Amino acid sequence: MVPAATLPCMGATSLEHNARVAVDTGTSRYDIVIGSGLLGAPSSWDGLPRASRAVVVTNTTIAPLWAARLRAALEPHYAQVSMLELPDGEEHKDWPALNSIFDHLLGTGCDRKTVLFALGGGVVGDMTGFAAGCYMRGVPFVQVPTTLLAQVDSSVGGKTAINHTLGKNMIGLFYQPQRVICDLDTLTTLPQRELIAGLAEVIKYGPIADAAFLEWLESNLDALLARDPEVLAYAIRRSCEIKAWVVGQDEREGGLRAILNFGHTFGHAIEAGLGYGRWLHGEAVGCGMLMATALSVRLGLVQDSLLDRMRLLLGRAGLPLNGPALGPVRYLELMRHDKKAEAGEIRFVVLDAVGRASVRPAPDQDVAAVIEQYTASAA
């Protein structure tokens, strides 16, 4: 549960200048910088670890759009800047792609001071962070997220991982970046489907931690979908403020941080069950949030009115409201591989009230009933 009084308050809903949100885990401290034109701003790169080499890890989609600009920004700071392009897509968040990063680092003679820059979405960020944490037992890295989902969620907090066929993000480590650079300009090239998927991770912060933010999202959703710059900037900043506060209380997900996985137990089962890449991560999480809210109602924790609000908001956002019809048995099997499961008991992030969440088990029959209800009309 997040005590509302301890969360950073909602401030002005515009971003006149670049914003900085501090992340302090007790063992590391870094800034999330949010604004436009950050890739080309010298101040974005000042104060980072000094090294002779920098490696930009990106993918084949993002590289033609933004890699040259990042390289030009880094060259005054590093004697050698090399680029590595990974294949794009969740299905490539695996051992071969991870090993290609190690091959590049070793093949170009990178040392333990080399700085890695993750330019891309959540897949690139997760794998670059994982590689940075492992290479020579740890080299510095910087997150440069180019998707809405990565800017509000995966780039912040130090979770790194690759997928396994039996479960998403099951192999990884906690390793914090040196800085997170959220250049809003990179969102101008984001496909609308990716923007909508990212909105799922924005929306989740309201029901789990900030009732006022949920109301704000309901009022400003159309502007978010239209990419209004000020509205989008505020949504990113507020999401980062909430996540930074939660991560600061619980870096390694021993308790409180688990609430950030609202909708993810169902969502990860959808991704693994369909095969990675069929649905975008945010699409699966959006559907998973509706299922998790329905489970909260079924457990007697919240009223139907909150389920109605979530259904309306997620539907307006264009997120799927029905999951694939894998069957309750398959869903439950996949969810037993979830990282929150303990001794085979599945633990779900559920809502105790608007803006308040907790993690608890639920009877299989209640979970199965929810799955049947929210996959009945799925294709």
Instruction: Indicate which residues carry an active-site annotation.
Output: 137, 159, 201, 243, 253, 257, 261, 264, 268, 281
CA distances from 269 to 110, 166, 260, 285, 297 (A): 38, 9, 17, 10, 21
**Helix, strand and coil in the chain, % to nearest 5:** 50, 20, 30
Q: Which helix (H) or strand (E) holds 173?
A: strand 167-174
CA 247 to chain centre: 13
Measured at the CA of 151, the angle between CA 205 and CA 228, to 5 degrees, comes to 80
CA distances from 40 to 72, 76, 184, 205 (A): 8, 11, 12, 30
- Measured between alpha carbons, how far is 85 from 177 in angstroms, rounded to an integer? 20
For residue 177, give the 3-state DSSP assignment.
coil
Q: Which long-range contacts (CB under 8 A, 24 or more apart) does 7-16 make?
A: 7/209, 7/210, 7/241, 7/242, 7/245, 8/241, 8/242, 8/245, 10/210, 10/212, 10/213, 10/216, 10/238, 13/216, 13/230, 13/231, 13/234, 14/230, 14/233, 14/234, 15/230, 15/233, 15/234, 15/237
Maximum separation of any 2 CA atoms in the chain, in Å: 61
Q: Is the dihedral of CA 196, 197, 200, 201 positive or negative?
A: negative
User: 262: which residues sit within 8 A by CB, 6+ positions away?
Assistant: 204, 207, 208, 289, 292, 349, 351, 357
